[in-house]
A = this chain, B = another copy of it.
Amino acid sequence: MILDSAYAPSHAVANIRGSAIRDLLKLTERPDVLSLAGGLPATELIPAQRISDTAARVGADPASLQYTVSAGVMSCREVVADYVGSRDVEQVLLTHGSQQALFLLAHALLNPGDLVVVDDPVYVGALQVFQSVRARIRALPITAHGVDVDLLRQWLEAGERPRIIHTVSNFHNPAGVSASESTRIELARLAEEYGFLIIEDDPYRQLRFTGQGIEPIAAHSDRVVLLGSASKVLAPALRVGWMSGPPDVIRLVERLRQGADLCGSTFSQLVVAELLGDQTWFAEHVGVIRQEYGSRAAALTSVLRGTFGERVTFAEPEGGMFCWVRMPGVDTSGLLLHAVAAGVAFVPGAAFGVEADFGDCLRLSFATLTPEELVEGVRRLAIAVAALNREDLSH
Protein backbone atom coordinates (compact mmCIF):
# COMPACT_ATOMS: atom_id res chain seq x y z
CA MET A 1 0.00 0.00 0.00
CA ILE A 2 1.38 3.35 -1.02
CA LEU A 3 0.56 6.50 0.86
CA ASP A 4 1.67 9.61 -0.93
CA SER A 5 0.49 12.82 -2.48
CA ALA A 6 -0.37 11.13 -5.75
CA TYR A 7 -3.37 9.72 -3.94
CA ALA A 8 -4.41 12.98 -2.32
CA PRO A 9 -8.17 13.48 -2.36
CA SER A 10 -9.61 16.09 -4.70
CA HIS A 11 -11.09 19.24 -3.16
CA ALA A 12 -14.44 17.68 -4.04
CA VAL A 13 -13.97 14.62 -1.87
CA ALA A 14 -12.10 16.45 0.87
CA ASN A 15 -15.09 18.76 1.20
CA ILE A 16 -17.55 15.95 1.94
CA ARG A 17 -18.10 16.05 5.66
CA GLY A 18 -17.53 12.75 7.36
CA SER A 19 -19.75 11.72 10.20
CA ALA A 20 -18.54 10.11 13.38
CA ILE A 21 -22.11 9.15 14.13
CA ARG A 22 -22.57 7.39 10.82
CA ASP A 23 -19.38 5.45 11.50
CA LEU A 24 -20.72 4.58 14.94
CA LEU A 25 -23.92 3.30 13.40
CA LYS A 26 -21.97 0.57 11.65
CA LEU A 27 -21.44 -0.87 15.10
CA THR A 28 -25.18 -1.17 15.57
CA GLU A 29 -25.62 -3.74 12.81
CA ARG A 30 -25.62 -6.60 15.27
CA PRO A 31 -28.43 -9.13 14.91
CA ASP A 32 -29.52 -8.62 18.54
CA VAL A 33 -30.03 -4.88 18.01
CA LEU A 34 -33.51 -3.73 16.96
CA SER A 35 -32.61 -1.04 14.46
CA LEU A 36 -34.82 1.99 14.05
CA ALA A 37 -31.77 3.65 12.48
CA GLY A 38 -32.16 2.45 8.91
CA GLY A 39 -33.30 4.31 5.85
CA LEU A 40 -34.37 1.18 4.00
CA PRO A 41 -37.89 0.22 2.99
CA ALA A 42 -39.29 -3.00 4.49
CA THR A 43 -37.65 -5.94 2.76
CA GLU A 44 -40.66 -8.24 3.18
CA LEU A 45 -42.89 -5.74 1.36
CA ILE A 46 -40.74 -5.74 -1.79
CA PRO A 47 -42.81 -7.48 -4.51
CA ALA A 48 -40.04 -10.00 -5.18
CA GLN A 49 -42.12 -12.61 -6.96
CA ARG A 50 -43.62 -10.09 -9.34
CA ILE A 51 -40.19 -8.57 -10.02
CA SER A 52 -38.63 -12.00 -10.47
CA ASP A 53 -41.34 -13.08 -12.95
CA THR A 54 -41.04 -9.83 -14.89
CA ALA A 55 -37.25 -9.96 -14.89
CA ALA A 56 -37.32 -13.53 -16.22
CA ARG A 57 -39.55 -12.53 -19.10
CA VAL A 58 -37.81 -9.23 -19.91
CA GLY A 59 -34.33 -10.73 -19.59
CA ALA A 60 -35.03 -13.55 -22.02
CA ASP A 61 -34.82 -11.01 -24.87
CA PRO A 62 -31.15 -10.14 -25.44
CA ALA A 63 -32.14 -6.70 -26.76
CA SER A 64 -33.30 -5.79 -23.26
CA LEU A 65 -29.77 -6.49 -22.00
CA GLN A 66 -28.03 -4.03 -24.37
CA TYR A 67 -26.97 -0.45 -23.69
CA THR A 68 -29.66 2.23 -23.82
CA VAL A 69 -29.47 5.99 -24.34
CA SER A 70 -28.43 8.28 -21.49
CA ALA A 71 -31.96 9.59 -20.90
CA GLY A 72 -33.29 6.06 -20.51
CA VAL A 73 -35.55 3.59 -22.28
CA MET A 74 -38.38 5.49 -23.94
CA SER A 75 -41.18 3.17 -22.76
CA CYS A 76 -40.06 3.63 -19.17
CA ARG A 77 -39.74 7.40 -19.58
CA GLU A 78 -43.31 7.44 -20.86
CA VAL A 79 -44.62 5.47 -17.91
CA VAL A 80 -42.73 7.72 -15.50
CA ALA A 81 -43.96 10.87 -17.25
CA ASP A 82 -47.49 9.62 -16.71
CA TYR A 83 -46.71 8.60 -13.11
CA VAL A 84 -45.39 12.06 -12.17
CA GLY A 85 -48.06 13.89 -14.16
CA SER A 86 -45.58 15.43 -16.59
CA ARG A 87 -46.98 16.53 -19.91
CA ASP A 88 -43.83 15.85 -21.85
CA VAL A 89 -41.56 12.81 -21.95
CA GLU A 90 -38.68 15.09 -23.02
CA GLN A 91 -38.81 16.50 -19.50
CA VAL A 92 -38.11 13.10 -17.94
CA LEU A 93 -34.67 11.55 -17.54
CA LEU A 94 -34.13 8.22 -15.79
CA THR A 95 -31.29 7.90 -13.30
CA HIS A 96 -29.58 5.28 -11.18
CA GLY A 97 -31.76 6.01 -8.16
CA SER A 98 -32.84 9.55 -7.35
CA GLN A 99 -29.53 10.09 -5.55
CA GLN A 100 -27.83 10.10 -8.95
CA ALA A 101 -30.37 12.65 -10.18
CA LEU A 102 -29.29 14.94 -7.36
CA PHE A 103 -25.60 14.38 -8.05
CA LEU A 104 -25.91 15.01 -11.78
CA LEU A 105 -28.00 18.14 -11.26
CA ALA A 106 -25.47 19.57 -8.83
CA HIS A 107 -22.54 18.82 -11.12
CA ALA A 108 -24.32 20.06 -14.24
CA LEU A 109 -25.45 23.35 -12.74
CA LEU A 110 -23.23 24.43 -9.87
CA ASN A 111 -19.78 25.95 -9.58
CA PRO A 112 -17.73 26.23 -6.39
CA GLY A 113 -19.05 29.04 -4.25
CA ASP A 114 -22.56 29.04 -5.73
CA LEU A 115 -25.19 29.33 -3.01
CA VAL A 116 -27.42 26.34 -2.35
CA VAL A 117 -30.14 26.31 0.30
CA VAL A 118 -30.96 23.01 1.97
CA ASP A 119 -33.27 21.85 4.74
CA ASP A 120 -32.24 21.86 8.42
CA PRO A 121 -32.34 19.02 9.43
CA VAL A 122 -31.08 17.90 6.05
CA TYR A 123 -31.24 14.77 3.94
CA VAL A 124 -27.57 13.86 4.36
CA GLY A 125 -27.25 12.51 0.80
CA ALA A 126 -28.12 15.96 -0.52
CA LEU A 127 -25.66 17.70 1.77
CA GLN A 128 -22.86 15.41 0.57
CA VAL A 129 -23.64 16.18 -3.06
CA PHE A 130 -23.58 19.94 -2.55
CA GLN A 131 -20.41 19.64 -0.50
CA SER A 132 -18.80 17.66 -3.33
CA VAL A 133 -19.32 20.56 -5.76
CA ARG A 134 -18.09 22.94 -3.04
CA ALA A 135 -21.24 25.00 -3.04
CA ARG A 136 -21.78 27.61 -0.35
CA ILE A 137 -24.49 26.04 1.76
CA ARG A 138 -27.15 27.69 3.90
CA ALA A 139 -29.83 25.72 5.68
CA LEU A 140 -33.46 26.68 6.33
CA PRO A 141 -35.24 25.28 9.37
CA ILE A 142 -38.01 22.78 8.72
CA THR A 143 -41.17 23.87 10.50
CA ALA A 144 -44.39 21.92 10.99
CA HIS A 145 -45.46 23.28 7.59
CA GLY A 146 -42.24 22.48 5.74
CA VAL A 147 -39.30 24.70 5.04
CA ASP A 148 -39.35 28.17 6.66
CA VAL A 149 -40.33 30.35 3.70
CA ASP A 150 -40.55 33.51 5.79
CA LEU A 151 -36.91 33.24 6.70
CA LEU A 152 -36.06 32.42 3.08
CA ARG A 153 -37.86 35.59 1.96
CA GLN A 154 -35.81 37.61 4.45
CA TRP A 155 -32.60 36.15 3.07
CA LEU A 156 -33.67 36.93 -0.48
CA GLU A 157 -34.72 40.45 0.42
CA ALA A 158 -31.35 40.92 2.12
CA GLY A 159 -29.66 40.05 -1.17
CA GLU A 160 -28.90 36.34 -0.97
CA ARG A 161 -29.15 34.76 -4.40
CA PRO A 162 -29.32 30.97 -4.27
CA ARG A 163 -28.91 29.07 -7.52
CA ILE A 164 -30.70 26.02 -6.13
CA ILE A 165 -33.02 25.25 -3.23
CA HIS A 166 -33.24 21.58 -2.33
CA THR A 167 -36.09 20.35 -0.21
CA VAL A 168 -37.89 17.10 0.58
CA SER A 169 -41.53 18.04 0.18
CA ASN A 170 -43.38 14.96 1.50
CA PHE A 171 -42.67 13.02 4.73
CA HIS A 172 -39.30 14.63 5.19
CA ASN A 173 -36.19 12.59 5.87
CA PRO A 174 -35.46 13.02 8.74
CA ALA A 175 -38.04 15.54 9.95
CA GLY A 176 -41.13 13.51 9.08
CA VAL A 177 -43.33 16.48 8.12
CA SER A 178 -44.67 17.59 4.73
CA ALA A 179 -44.67 21.07 3.26
CA SER A 180 -48.13 22.63 3.41
CA GLU A 181 -49.79 23.84 0.24
CA SER A 182 -49.12 27.47 1.13
CA THR A 183 -45.44 26.70 1.74
CA ARG A 184 -45.25 25.08 -1.70
CA ILE A 185 -47.00 27.96 -3.43
CA GLU A 186 -44.78 30.53 -1.74
CA LEU A 187 -41.60 28.60 -2.57
CA ALA A 188 -42.66 28.41 -6.21
CA ARG A 189 -43.47 32.13 -6.23
CA LEU A 190 -40.09 33.02 -4.76
CA ALA A 191 -38.35 30.81 -7.34
CA GLU A 192 -40.07 32.78 -10.11
CA GLU A 193 -39.36 36.13 -8.49
CA TYR A 194 -35.72 35.54 -7.64
CA GLY A 195 -34.79 33.17 -10.44
CA PHE A 196 -33.60 30.11 -8.58
CA LEU A 197 -34.26 26.46 -9.31
CA ILE A 198 -36.04 24.20 -6.81
CA ILE A 199 -35.03 20.56 -6.54
CA GLU A 200 -38.13 18.94 -5.10
CA ASP A 201 -36.96 15.61 -3.72
CA ASP A 202 -40.00 13.36 -3.42
CA PRO A 203 -39.19 9.68 -2.93
CA TYR A 204 -41.94 9.08 -0.35
CA ARG A 205 -44.97 10.66 -2.07
CA GLN A 206 -46.84 7.38 -2.54
CA LEU A 207 -46.36 6.39 1.09
CA ARG A 208 -49.15 8.53 2.58
CA PHE A 209 -51.23 6.53 5.03
CA THR A 210 -53.36 9.32 6.46
CA GLY A 211 -54.49 12.83 5.48
CA GLN A 212 -54.84 14.38 2.06
CA GLY A 213 -52.17 14.41 -0.67
CA ILE A 214 -50.86 17.85 -1.60
CA GLU A 215 -49.87 18.88 -5.12
CA PRO A 216 -46.11 19.02 -5.63
CA ILE A 217 -44.24 22.32 -5.74
CA ALA A 218 -43.68 21.45 -9.40
CA ALA A 219 -47.40 22.02 -10.00
CA HIS A 220 -46.91 25.71 -9.21
CA SER A 221 -43.83 26.58 -11.28
CA ASP A 222 -41.70 25.37 -14.18
CA ARG A 223 -38.60 26.26 -12.18
CA VAL A 224 -38.75 22.94 -10.36
CA VAL A 225 -36.93 19.67 -10.99
CA LEU A 226 -38.99 16.94 -9.36
CA LEU A 227 -37.09 13.84 -8.25
CA GLY A 228 -38.67 10.47 -7.70
CA SER A 229 -37.70 6.85 -7.36
CA ALA A 230 -38.87 3.27 -7.64
CA SER A 231 -36.78 2.37 -4.58
CA LYS A 232 -39.42 2.91 -1.90
CA VAL A 233 -42.39 1.55 -3.85
CA LEU A 234 -40.85 -1.32 -5.84
CA ALA A 235 -37.26 -2.18 -4.89
CA PRO A 236 -34.04 -0.29 -4.18
CA ALA A 237 -31.94 -2.77 -6.19
CA LEU A 238 -33.68 -1.83 -9.41
CA ARG A 239 -31.76 1.47 -9.06
CA VAL A 240 -34.31 3.36 -11.07
CA GLY A 241 -34.98 6.96 -10.16
CA TRP A 242 -35.85 9.95 -12.27
CA MET A 243 -35.97 13.68 -12.63
CA SER A 244 -38.65 15.67 -14.36
CA GLY A 245 -37.94 19.29 -15.14
CA PRO A 246 -37.14 22.02 -17.66
CA PRO A 247 -35.82 20.58 -20.97
CA ASP A 248 -32.77 22.87 -20.78
CA VAL A 249 -31.78 21.30 -17.48
CA ILE A 250 -32.51 17.78 -18.71
CA ARG A 251 -30.22 18.35 -21.70
CA LEU A 252 -27.32 19.52 -19.52
CA VAL A 253 -27.72 16.51 -17.28
CA GLU A 254 -27.83 14.19 -20.30
CA ARG A 255 -24.52 15.63 -21.50
CA LEU A 256 -22.85 15.03 -18.15
CA ARG A 257 -24.42 11.61 -17.76
CA GLN A 258 -22.61 10.11 -20.75
CA GLY A 259 -19.34 10.60 -18.92
CA ALA A 260 -20.81 9.70 -15.54
CA ASP A 261 -21.91 6.17 -16.44
CA LEU A 262 -23.08 6.17 -20.08
CA CYS A 263 -26.62 5.04 -19.29
CA GLY A 264 -28.87 3.20 -16.87
CA SER A 265 -29.93 -0.42 -17.08
CA THR A 266 -32.23 -1.20 -20.00
CA PHE A 267 -33.25 -4.35 -18.13
CA SER A 268 -34.24 -2.62 -14.87
CA GLN A 269 -35.98 0.20 -16.69
CA LEU A 270 -38.10 -2.27 -18.67
CA VAL A 271 -39.04 -4.04 -15.44
CA VAL A 272 -40.02 -0.73 -13.84
CA ALA A 273 -42.00 0.28 -16.94
CA GLU A 274 -44.06 -2.87 -16.66
CA LEU A 275 -44.69 -2.66 -12.91
CA LEU A 276 -45.40 1.08 -12.69
CA GLY A 277 -47.44 0.80 -15.87
CA ASP A 278 -49.68 -1.94 -14.46
CA GLN A 279 -51.77 0.60 -12.60
CA THR A 280 -54.25 -1.84 -11.07
CA TRP A 281 -51.54 -4.07 -9.63
CA PHE A 282 -49.42 -1.10 -8.55
CA ALA A 283 -52.26 0.64 -6.71
CA GLU A 284 -53.01 -2.54 -4.81
CA HIS A 285 -49.33 -3.15 -4.03
CA VAL A 286 -48.73 0.39 -2.76
CA GLY A 287 -51.95 0.12 -0.78
CA VAL A 288 -50.43 -2.79 1.13
CA ILE A 289 -47.24 -0.84 1.89
CA ARG A 290 -49.26 2.17 3.03
CA GLN A 291 -51.42 0.13 5.34
CA GLU A 292 -48.46 -1.68 6.84
CA TYR A 293 -46.38 1.48 7.34
CA GLY A 294 -49.45 3.17 8.80
CA SER A 295 -49.87 0.38 11.37
CA ARG A 296 -46.19 0.54 12.24
CA ALA A 297 -46.18 4.32 12.59
CA ALA A 298 -49.26 4.14 14.83
CA ALA A 299 -47.65 1.46 17.00
CA LEU A 300 -44.46 3.51 17.35
CA THR A 301 -46.12 6.81 18.20
CA SER A 302 -48.53 5.18 20.60
CA VAL A 303 -45.80 3.45 22.57
CA LEU A 304 -43.60 6.57 22.48
CA ARG A 305 -46.44 8.55 24.09
CA GLY A 306 -47.26 5.81 26.54
CA THR A 307 -43.62 5.38 27.56
CA PHE A 308 -42.26 8.93 27.58
CA GLY A 309 -45.40 11.10 27.88
CA GLU A 310 -44.45 14.76 28.11
CA ARG A 311 -40.73 13.98 27.86
CA VAL A 312 -40.92 13.69 24.07
CA THR A 313 -42.43 15.79 21.31
CA PHE A 314 -42.97 14.73 17.72
CA ALA A 315 -45.32 15.28 14.81
CA GLU A 316 -47.58 12.34 14.04
CA PRO A 317 -46.30 10.94 10.71
CA GLU A 318 -48.86 10.99 7.90
CA GLY A 319 -46.68 8.89 5.63
CA GLY A 320 -43.14 7.99 4.72
CA MET A 321 -40.79 6.05 6.93
CA PHE A 322 -39.63 8.34 9.72
CA CYS A 323 -40.63 9.85 13.03
CA TRP A 324 -38.50 12.76 14.23
CA VAL A 325 -38.55 12.89 18.01
CA ARG A 326 -37.32 15.62 20.32
CA MET A 327 -36.31 14.64 23.86
CA PRO A 328 -35.65 17.96 25.58
CA GLY A 329 -32.62 17.76 27.82
CA VAL A 330 -31.35 14.48 26.40
CA ASP A 331 -28.05 14.29 24.51
CA THR A 332 -29.10 11.76 21.89
CA SER A 333 -25.55 11.18 20.63
CA GLY A 334 -24.61 10.14 24.16
CA LEU A 335 -27.81 8.14 24.35
CA LEU A 336 -26.87 6.00 21.35
CA LEU A 337 -24.19 4.06 23.22
CA HIS A 338 -26.62 3.19 25.98
CA ALA A 339 -29.23 2.32 23.38
CA VAL A 340 -26.96 -0.12 21.60
CA ALA A 341 -26.11 -1.67 24.97
CA ALA A 342 -29.85 -2.06 25.57
CA GLY A 343 -30.33 -3.56 22.10
CA VAL A 344 -31.89 -0.73 20.09
CA ALA A 345 -30.51 1.73 17.54
CA PHE A 346 -31.60 5.09 16.09
CA VAL A 347 -29.88 7.98 14.35
CA PRO A 348 -29.03 10.90 16.66
CA GLY A 349 -30.33 14.26 15.44
CA ALA A 350 -26.80 15.72 15.27
CA ALA A 351 -26.19 13.62 12.15
CA PHE A 352 -28.71 15.80 10.29
CA GLY A 353 -27.84 19.26 11.56
CA VAL A 354 -26.39 21.87 9.21
CA GLU A 355 -26.64 25.20 11.06
CA ALA A 356 -28.83 23.92 13.88
CA ASP A 357 -27.68 21.34 16.39
CA PHE A 358 -30.55 18.89 16.94
CA GLY A 359 -28.55 17.38 19.80
CA ASP A 360 -31.78 16.44 21.61
CA CYS A 361 -33.46 14.87 18.57
CA LEU A 362 -33.48 11.41 17.12
CA ARG A 363 -34.73 9.87 13.91
CA LEU A 364 -36.73 6.68 14.28
CA SER A 365 -37.63 4.61 11.25
CA PHE A 366 -40.81 2.60 11.62
CA ALA A 367 -40.57 1.02 8.17
CA THR A 368 -38.61 -2.16 8.79
CA LEU A 369 -39.84 -3.45 12.16
CA THR A 370 -43.14 -5.04 13.11
CA PRO A 371 -45.43 -3.26 15.59
CA GLU A 372 -44.32 -5.74 18.26
CA GLU A 373 -40.65 -5.05 17.55
CA LEU A 374 -41.27 -1.30 17.64
CA VAL A 375 -42.90 -1.64 21.05
CA GLU A 376 -39.93 -3.65 22.28
CA GLY A 377 -37.54 -1.13 20.69
CA VAL A 378 -39.10 1.74 22.61
CA ARG A 379 -39.00 -0.29 25.83
CA ARG A 380 -35.25 -0.68 25.30
CA LEU A 381 -34.95 3.00 24.45
CA ALA A 382 -36.50 3.83 27.83
CA ILE A 383 -33.90 1.62 29.51
CA ALA A 384 -31.20 3.54 27.63
CA VAL A 385 -32.62 6.91 28.70
CA ALA A 386 -32.70 5.74 32.31
CA ALA A 387 -29.09 4.57 32.02
CA LEU A 388 -28.03 7.90 30.53
CA ASN A 389 -29.79 9.75 33.33
CA ARG A 390 -28.02 7.64 35.97
CA GLU A 391 -24.72 8.35 34.23
CA ASP A 392 -25.46 12.09 34.27
CA LEU A 393 -26.31 11.99 37.97
CA SER A 394 -23.10 10.14 38.79
CA HIS A 395 -20.93 12.87 37.23
Chain B residues positioned under 8 Å from A267 (CB to CB): 55, 235, 237-238, 268
Q: Does the CB pair B10–A110 fall under 8 Å? A: yes
Q: A1-B247, A66-B237, A262-B125 are in contact. Are A195 and B6 (CB under 8 A)?
A: yes
Contact of A239 among B249, B259, B264 (CB under 8 A): B264
For residues 1 through 57 of chain A, which have their beta carbon under 8 Å from a beta carbon of chain B?
A: 1-13, 16, 18, 40, 43-44, 46, 48-49, 51-53, 55-57
Contact of A64 among B5, B100, B109, B237 (CB under 8 A): B237
User: A279 an interface residue at 8 Å Cβ cutoff?
Assistant: no
Q: Which of A53, A128, A248, A259 has the most CB of B within 10 A?
A: A259
Residue A129 contacts which of B60, B61, B259 (CB distance < 8 angstroms)? B259
Using a CB-CB cutoff of 8 Å, which residues 101-157 of chain A contact chain B? 102-103, 107-111, 125, 128-129, 131-133
Binding stretch for chain B, among A250-258, A351-359, A374-382? A250-258
Query: How does the 8 Å CB contact mask read for A233-248 relative to B, with 1 for contact and 0 for none?
Result: 0011111000000111
Name, among A48, A235, A261, the residue most crowded by chain B CB atoms within 10 Å (CB to CB): A261
With A46-B62, A56-B56, A255-B16 as known contacts, state yes or no: A99 contacts B262, CB within 8 Å: yes
Contact partner of A237 among B60, B96, B103, B265, CB < 8 A? B265
**Contact (Cβ within 8 A) B246 A7:** yes
Pair A196/B59 contact, Cβ less than 8 Å: no
Alpha-carbon distance A110/B10, docked complex (angstroms): 5
Are A48 and B65 in contact (CB-based, < 8 A)? yes
Report if A219 contacts B (CB, 8 A): no
0/1 per residue, A186-210, Cβ < 8 Å to B?
Answer: 0000000001110000000000000
Query: Using Cβ atoms and an 8 Å threshold, which residues of chain B touch A252?
Result: 7, 9, 13
A67 at the interface (CB under 8 A from B): yes
Distance A152 CA – B102 CA, assembled complex (angstroms)? 39
User: Is A291 close to B, CB under 8 A?
Assistant: no
User: Contact partner of A55 among B56, B195, B255, CB < 8 A?
Assistant: B56
Q: Is A278 an interface residue (CB 8 A)?
A: no
Specify which of A48, A58, A102, A247 lies most central, judged by the most chain B CB atoms within 10 Å of its CB.
A48
A183 proximity list for chain B (CB < 8 A): none
Interface size class of A (residues with CB under 8 A): 35 or more
Indicate whether A259 sits within 8 Å of B16 (C-beta atoms), given known contacts A7-B197, A62-B46.
yes
Give the CA-CA distance A110 to B7 in the complex, in Å: 9
In the complex, what's the smallest C-beta–C-beta distance from A242 to chain B, in angstroms? 13
Chain B neighbourhood of A195, CB < 8 A: 4-6
Asked if A288 lies at the interface with its beta carbon under 8 angstroms from chain B, I say: no
Contact of A46 among B9, B13, B40, B65 (CB under 8 A): B65
Q: Is the CB of B235 within 8 A of A66?
A: yes
Q: Is A172 in contact with chain B by the CB < 8 A criterion?
A: no
Q: B residues within 8 A CB of A99?
A: 259-262
A63 located at the interface, meaning its Cβ lies under 8 Å from any Cβ of chain B in the complex = yes
Seen from chain A, the residues whose Cβ lies within 8 Å of a Cβ on chain B are: 1-13, 16, 18, 40, 43-44, 46, 48-49, 51-53, 55-68, 95-97, 99-100, 102-103, 107-111, 125, 128-129, 131-133, 163, 195-197, 222-223, 231, 235-239, 246-249, 252, 255-256, 258-262, 264-268
17 residue pairs bridging A and B, Cβ less than 8 Å apart: A1-B222, A6-B223, A7-B248, A8-B109, A10-B109, A13-B109, A43-B63, A46-B66, A51-B65, A55-B56, A96-B239, A100-B260, A107-B132, A131-B259, A236-B266, A239-B261, A268-B268
